[in-house]
Amino acid sequence: MPTLKIAHESWPIAGSFTISRGSKTSAEVVVVTLEEGGAIGRGECVPYAHYGETVESVTAAIEGLRRDIENGINREALRTSMPAGAARNAIDCALWDLAAKRSGRPAWLMAGLPELKPLVTAYTLSLASAEAMGEQAARYADRPLLKLKLGTGDGDIARLKAVRRAAPDSRLIVDANEGWTPDQLPDLFRACAELGVELIEQPLPALDDSPLAGIERPVAVCADEAVHDLQTLDGLVGKYDAVNIKLDKTGGLTEALLLAQAAADRNMRIMVGCMLATSLAMAPAMIVAQRAAVVDLDGPLLLARDREPGIRFEGSTMFPPPPELWG
């Protein structure tokens, strides 16, 4: 039976990272380590205050399941033992990694998928003034896909225009982080369409998104805060064209794979995203991202340093994780 260790780690961000809800200068993660028969499996999660999570609450939730974990809980039993969220994600990913290490079979093979391919990830520009975001875009204009953090409504069109001028050849996606209002949507959607934005994440608050069902969407609209696990999916049909699958929301890779298939069955596009975290958190997400239309797994690129070994990035291209890292 495995033994469980829980650790809180702080990873500095290169500069700061700003969205409409605030700024941060470090990524605070919780790492679960499972050891059994000389094999070690790890999983990393990010407690997210927006969902009422803290390092302390996530650590306590994992600790509360210690007996079941050390008695050999499997991934399916875990799904019914804990709610979706960061704590379950860390345990689930550690179970996947441990199984891969013990069996000598890579996680992608255990998931019934072909060998992992390199992926192109978005690169995120923090929310700032239009001028500052234009300067950010100019520095990263060689990136093929840029993600803009918006969400203030007023001034967002100017920010979009500044980024498009500075990066005329980059594909653009936008994340409003629930920061727009229904009356702002027509003008903002029109501007996004005119400026070549391909996807808009969570324009309205997740709990007040019904206006999306009754408005023309000239750009695909993606649920982020509105989608967590399988149970939240059906309520999104008709309001959203895509879903952003994040393992910290789904409660792990096991649920994420099920959610991706269910979304595809409903003809919804798949985006795979991340919280600010290290390569250990990106590695399992890369399995789900193999079928995604949009990949946003740039967390390690925004940190001052990453794990060693970590995922290799060449510009915005990320390569499959080394087995020493995960899976």
Catalytic residues, which ones? 149, 246
- What is the C-alpha separation between 131 and 133, in angstroms, rounded? 6
- What is the C-alpha separation between 227 and 249, in angstroms, rounded? 8
- What is the C-alpha separation between 306 and 325, in angstroms, rounded? 11
- What is the C-alpha separation between 101 and 83, in angstroms, rounded? 26
Give Cα separations from 18 to 21, 22, 271 (angstroms): 8, 6, 21
- What is the C-alpha separation between 13 and 77, in angstroms, rounded? 35
| Angle, alpha carbons 246-257-213 (nearest 5°) | 60
* Cβ-contact 302, 273 below 8 angstroms: no
* Cβ neighbours of 310 (radius 10 Å): 20
